[in-house]
Amino acid sequence: MKKKKRWLRRLLIFAVILLVYPVFVIGYTWTHVLQSDLEGGRHGPLDAYRHALASAVVSHTLGEWAVDLVTTVFESSGKDTNQMDRKNNTIGASIGRRSGSFGELEATVRRSVLAGAELSTDSNQITWLPEDRWRDSKLW
């Protein structure tokens, strides 16, 4: 009976972590997005910031493999917006991997976005779509 209780306790802890972790990542990311002065809520610099920041957090806390998995699931279509998101996720994951501390993530991602460019083909540069394609809403 003790083994069964221990197994159930471990399963419950795992389930809680599985539920709490995404809430933490989304909450952290959106807190910064909503406070940001960047423009281009969708397809612009703010969208690039959101993707790179969330990916940096996940990479720093779980590993790049987790970013790769999420990117494969959510950004698999061939649309140019998904290509942009995949690239920014990869750059964010790299920032997360290289970061010495969690506290460095946001500032490093922000600097990377500020050094980004429209339709950049440089694999190490954050990118976004032309301004006429932006949807200027912070919420989506």
pLDDT in tens, 1-34: 677 788 888 888 888 888 899 999 999 999 999 9
Q: pLDDT at position 137, please? A: 64
Domain ranges of the chain: 2-133
At residue 85, the 3 state secondary structure works out as: helix
Q: Considering the entire predicted model, what is its pTM?
A: 0.88
DSSP secondary structure letters along 49-107: HHHHHHHHHHHHHT-HHHHHHHHHHHS-S--HHHHHHHHHHHHHHHHHHH-SSGGGHHH
- Which residues have C-beta within 8 Å of that of residue 37, sequence separation ≥ 6? none
8 A C-beta contact, residue 115 and residue 125: yes
**Arithmetic mean of pLDDT, 86-91:** 96
Q: What is the DSSP letter of 127?
A: E
Number of neighbours of residue 112 by Cβ within 10 angstroms: 22
* Averaged pLDDT, 103-107: 97
Helix or strand run (H / E) with residue 65: helix 64-74
Average pLDDT over every residue of 86-108: 97
Task: Specify the higher pLDDT residue, 12 or 109.
Answer: 109
Using a 10 angstrom Cβ sphere, with 0-12 exposed, 13-18 middle and 19 or more buried, the burial of residue 115 is exposed
Phi, psi of 127 (to 5 degrees): -140, 165
Whole-angstrom distance, CA of residue 113 vs CA of residue 123: 13
Over residues 107-133, mean pLDDT: 96
Looking at per-residue confidence, does 126 or 8 come out higher? 126
Shortest CA distance to 91 belongs to which of 69, 67, 107? 67
Dump pLDDT digits (tens) for 37-57. Answer: 999 888 999 999 999 999 999
Structure tokens at 35: 């406070």
Residue 140 pLDDT > 70: no
pLDDT value of residue 15: 84
pLDDT at site 117 = 97
